[in-house]
Amino acid sequence: MAPNHSNENGSIGSSLHGVTAREQIFCFSVEDGPSSQAIRSDDPTAKFALPVDSEHRAKVFKPLSFAKPHMRAFHLGWISFFTCFISTFAAAPLVPVIRDNLDLTKTDIGNAGVASVSGAIFSRLAMGAVCDLLGARYGTAFSLMLSAPAVFSMSFVADAGSYLAVRFMIGFCLATFVSCQYWTSVMFTGKIIGLVNGCAGGWGDMGGGVTQLLMPMVFHVIKLTGATPFSAWRFAFFIPGFLQIIMGILVLTLGQDLPDGNLSTLQKSGQVSKDKFSKVFWFAVKNYRTWILFVLYGFSMGVELTINNVISGYFYDRFNLTLHTAGIVAASFGMANFFARPFGGYASDVAARLFGMRGRLWTLWILQTVGALFCIWLGRASSLPIAILAMMLFSVGTQAACGALFGVAPFVSRRSLGLISGLTGAGGNFGSGVTQLLFFSSSRFSTAEGLSLMGVMAVVCTIPVAFIHFPQWGSMFLRPSQHEERSKEEHYYGGEWTEEEKSLGLHEGSIKFAENSRSERGRKAVLADIPTPETGSPAHV
Amino acid sequence: MAIHKILFASLLICLLIQSSHAATKERLFSDLEKSALEVTATPSRVGEGVGVDKLSITWKVSSTATKEPEFKAIKVKLCYAPASQVDRPWRKTENELFKDKSCPHKISSWSYDPAMKAGQSFDYTLERDIPTGTYFVRAYAVDTKDHEVAFGQSTNEDKTTNLFSVQAISGRHKSLDIASVCFSVFSVVALLVFFVNEKRKAKIEQSE
């Protein structure tokens, strides 16, 4: 039985392999026999602090540990991502001061907000390839340390144009989302990767909230030392800059690319067949579900990114709060990510257990629509307590929707998993750019009107989730196909490989994945009547 | 069930707070007595140059003022001219006084008594956080409840005459610029050093 190749590190499509909690790790299982999952006494895995599987990925998630290499990688990954969120949105709470210094108009501020999220559309797509080639450590470090100069260059900004350019360049560092998820995917086994990635993603997103508190505080402290406001805000940007450099150095010195060591010093043994990028790209692009997810994430994460840019200024202007207080209110939006995003992923998992993939799709639709409805309410609220209440409910709904979406995304494709995750991530930034451009960059709408309209647009753009149909599992309104062949998971995932590729056995990873994804049938999963696919039966069963 | 009760109670409280807020904020700018005060503002230097700018401001109670007995204090403020309000909703002029954002910069405040009818004349040094823009000066007369009753401004009603412009400081400093360049260079160089070092170590290990 040919060992599976597409699980090898470095093959295209493996960038975010493991994102689903359903993959079976079988890279060595064919040769190793039934004890492949257990730790043997002479096994080098005994040197790891956490129990590991045969690929040396951790089987247990201990958030309070910093053990090398797994938990250390997790913490370095999410803190790096967190730091980048701080830098990208550091300008937002200080806009009331910056707009006076640079004589900005609302259009200038809106355009700079669009620019701050646009850079990451490209850098997130590129980061998958960078991680495959250089490893997650360098991917993260490149992102952090090459964008630090952009953060520092806020001290040179003198007008609207340079302000926009600097925010655009700082925005590139949001690619750490991809490198962080890649890093956890190589460090943690498939069964727990959903929770690990949900935590890493949610805790990293919190940076957008923390920055609303941190920057006004730093600004205030610098003013106390005697600086004028127009100098103090520039100096305040040094703090995110320092954080990026420090995190970059920590990642390079303390981190490890793979459980067994660093990419450059490890000798890659065995065959590594890299999947063809053109094929992976084609199957990702051809699948209409990718684009629906692109739009959906654009109106959950996209809305969240937009709010990070506008909410502090909104509370400052509309309710006449101080910079400091507006920052606190705005921060609570981003901080809700700590539990809201993992909660969304968890809710999706629970729904899947009961109703299968249909449950996941309904959960996603409900969370995102409810979040958007509260966004409409936020724009219409004219008193501070109601606005805060609406904002909190809105934040939980939208952020949980982000988590729920990544409960669906891993099942859209097995072959192009990494690219789809990258495209979806880019969709978030794209959605943010669009909403900021439409609603917050001109004086046509007041910010309050903009918020409500954005909520309406989000409700409308969440409707496409009803069109995501899996023949083997159904969709929101349609039952799974009754057709003999099409109702099998193997047919769906096998369909991504040509007959020629199938004859070479390249698709075996997808077949294994299909077997594991049977759980998406919900309680109705009946394993007995599914015949074993002829090319996929593992020898040790 | 307890959660439902708590949510309902907090919603009720929020609504009550909202309704109680609504009553008090109806004072309008259009209700104020116009031109009760005569205000002039003259910048002490016209044209380009480096340094600190001053405004010479005078105010006095006009002979046509009718609400003069109510005056308790005079507040002088720096206000944005329409040109500086374009596409900047945070500087918008609103009729409701509590919403109006066109005069955010306080210049000075004077306690008023009838002996001061002839007014005051003083110099104001522009603060270093005044943004670039076109401005005029307005003086509000407030009563004992700290409510505005009358005003006067250095420009006409359409805000087209006697405007002056201010050029803000840039906030940039040579020391900031230098520090910024140093740290940026350090960041890039550190990354390159690590990268090159590791590649070299890997080559050495492979050749062993």
What is the DSSP secondary-structure string of A444-482? TS-HHHHHHHHHHHHHHHHGGGGG--BTTTB-SSSPPP-
Is the predicted pLDDT of residue A166 greater than 50, yes or no?
yes
pLDDT at residue A420 in the model: 82
Cβ–Cβ < 8 Å for A74, A187: yes
Where helices occur in chain B by DSSP H, the ranges are 2-22, 174-207
Cβ–Cβ < 8 Å for A335, A211: no
* CB within 8 Å of chain B, chain A residues 262-321: 262, 264-265, 267, 313, 317
pLDDT at residue A243 in the model: 96
* Shortest distance, CA B92 to any CA of chain A (angstroms): 11
Asked if B201 and A265 come within 8 Å (Cβ–Cβ), the reply is yes
Q: Which two tokens stand for residue B31?
A: 């209700």
The model's confidence at residue A142, banded by pLDDT at 50, 70 and 90, is very high
* CB within 8 Å of chain B, chain A residues 384-413: 385-386, 389
* Shortest distance, CA A310 to any CA of chain B (angstroms): 13
pLDDT at residue A274 in the model: 57
pLDDT at residue A499 in the model: 84
The model's confidence at residue A91, banded by pLDDT at 50, 70 and 90, is very high
pLDDT at residue B4 in the model: 66
Asked if B187 and A229 come within 8 Å (Cβ–Cβ), the reply is no
Is the predicted pLDDT of residue A536 greater than 70, yes or no?
no
Q: Closest residue of B to A140, CA-based?
A: B191
Which amino acid belongs to residue A325? T
Among B11, B168, B190, the residue with its CB nearest the CB of A101 is B168
Buried b (16+ CB within 10 A) or exposed e, A214-247: bbbbbbeebbeeebbbbbbbbbbbbbbbbbbbeb
Is the predicted pLDDT of residue A372 greater than 90, yes or no?
yes
Of A19-28, A117-126, A136-145, B30-39, the range with the lowest mean pLDDT is A19-28
Alpha-carbon radius of gyration of chain A: 23
In Å, what is the CA distance from A290 to each residue of A20, A262, A359, A405, A422? 16, 33, 19, 12, 10
pLDDT at residue B32 in the model: 82
Percent residues over pLDDT 90 in chain B: 20
Burial (CB count <10 Å: 0-12, 13-18, 19+), residue A73: buried
Asked if B170 and A158 come within 8 Å (Cβ–Cβ), the reply is yes
Instruction: Give the pLDDT confidence of B111-133 residue by residue, as tens digits.
Output: 888 887 788 888 888 888 889 99
pLDDT at residue B14 in the model: 54
> Nearest-5° angle of CA A519, CA A520, CA A526?
50
- Give, in words, the CATH class of A66-271: mainly alpha
- Under DSSP, the state recorded for A440 is S
Which chain B residues are closer than 8 Å to A374 by Cβ?
none
The C-alpha atoms of residue A490 and residue A86 are separated, in whole angstroms, by: 43
* Shortest distance, CA B41 to any CA of chain A (angstroms): 22
Asked if B168 and A382 come within 8 Å (Cβ–Cβ), the reply is no
Of A11-15, A141-145, A502-506, the range with the lowest mean pLDDT is A11-15
pLDDT at residue A22 in the model: 46
The C-alpha atoms of residue A441 and residue B204 are separated, in whole angstroms, by: 55
Asked if B183 and A242 come within 8 Å (Cβ–Cβ), the reply is yes
The model's confidence at residue A21, banded by pLDDT at 50, 70 and 90, is very low
Strand partners, B106: B77
CB pairs under 8 A between A and B: 134
The C-alpha atoms of residue A336 and residue A398 are separated, in whole angstroms, by: 10
Over range B101-118, report the average pLDDT.
86
Asked if A152 and B184 come within 8 Å (Cβ–Cβ), the reply is yes
> Nearest-5° angle of CA B6, CA A456, CA A369?
50
Q: Which two tokens stand for residue A198?
A: 């949900």
Q: Is A146 on the interface with B (CB under 8 A)?
A: yes
Among B86, B171, B205, the residue with its CB nearest the CB of A265 is B205
Superfamily of structural domain B29-167: Macroglobulin (MG2) domain (2.60.40.1930)
DSSP A142-205: HHHHHHHHHHHGGGG--SHHHHHHHHHHHHGGGGHHHHHHHHHHHHB-TTTHHHHHHHHHHHHH
pLDDT at residue A409 in the model: 85
The model's confidence at residue A107, banded by pLDDT at 50, 70 and 90, is very high
Among B11, B21, B172, the residue with its CB nearest the CB of A155 is B172
Q: Which two tokens stand for residue A18?
A: 């493991």
The C-alpha atoms of residue A86 and residue B100 are separated, in whole angstroms, by: 33
Helix (H, G, I), strand (E, B), or coil: what is residue B132? coil
Q: What is the sign of the dihedral through the CA atoms of B62, B66, B68 and B70?
A: negative
pLDDT at residue B15 in the model: 58
* Shortest distance, CA A266 to any CA of chain B (angstroms): 9
Asked if B194 and A156 come within 8 Å (Cβ–Cβ), the reply is no
Instruction: Give the pLDDT confidence of A385-439 residue by residue, as tens digits.
Output: 999 999 999 999 999 999 889 888 888 887 777 778 788 888 999 999 999 999 9
pLDDT at residue B43 in the model: 81
Which chain A residues are closer than 8 Å to B191 by Cβ?
141-142, 145-146, 248, 252
Is the predicted pLDDT of residue A12 greater than 60, yes or no?
no
Over range B3-30, report the average pLDDT.
62
In Å, what is the CA distance from B1 to each residue of A340, A366, B4? 21, 22, 5
Asked if A148 and B187 come within 8 Å (Cβ–Cβ), the reply is yes
Cβ–Cβ < 8 Å for B135, B127: no
Helix (H, G, I), strand (E, B), or coil: what is residue B104? coil
pLDDT at residue A275 in the model: 65
Where are the domains positioned within chain A?
A: 66-271, 275-522
Among A96, A101, A446, the residue with its CB nearest the CB of B171 is A101
Which amino acid belongs to residue A500? E
Cβ–Cβ < 8 Å for A53, A28: no
Q: Closest residue of B to A319, CA-based?
A: B99
- Higher-confidence residue: A532 or B95? B95
The model's confidence at residue A452, banded by pLDDT at 50, 70 and 90, is very high
Sequence-ordered list of residues with C-beta below 8 angstroms from that of A407, at least 6 positions apart, any chain: A194, A344, A345, A348, A349, A352, A360, A363, A364
Which of A211, A237, A168, A221 shows the shortest CA–CA distance to B180?
A237
**Mean residue pLDDT across chain A:** 83
Asked if A141 and B191 come within 8 Å (Cβ–Cβ), the reply is yes
Which chain B residues are closer than 8 Å to A97 by Cβ?
129
Percent residues over pLDDT 90 in chain A: 47
Where are the domains positioned within chain B?
A: 29-167
Where helices occur in A319-443 by DSSP H, the ranges are 323-335, 337-355, 357-380, 384-408, 417-439
Is the predicted pLDDT of residue B23 greater than 60, yes or no?
no
Is the predicted pLDDT of residue B46 greater than 60, yes or no?
no
Peptide bond into A69 cis (omega under 30): yes
Of A242-256, B17-31, B61-75, B148-162, the range with the lowest mean pLDDT is B17-31
Q: Closest residue of B to A314, CA-based?
A: B90
- Most confident range, picked from A85-89, A500-504, B113-117: A85-89
Helix (H, G, I), strand (E, B), or coil: what is residue B40? strand
Asked if A229 and B170 come within 8 Å (Cβ–Cβ), the reply is no
Q: What is the CATH number of domain A275-522?
A: 1.20.1250.20
Q: Which helix (H) or strand (E) holds B55?
A: strand B54-61
Over range A286-305, report the average pLDDT.
94
SS3 content of chain B, % helix, strand, coil (to 5): 35, 30, 40
Tell which of A147, A231, A237, A254 to mutate to test the B interface (max B CBs under 10 Å): A231
Over range A80-100, report the average pLDDT.
94
Q: Which two tokens stand for residue A377?
A: 């309410």
* Shortest distance, CA B196 to any CA of chain A (angstroms): 11
Over range A42-51, report the average pLDDT.
69
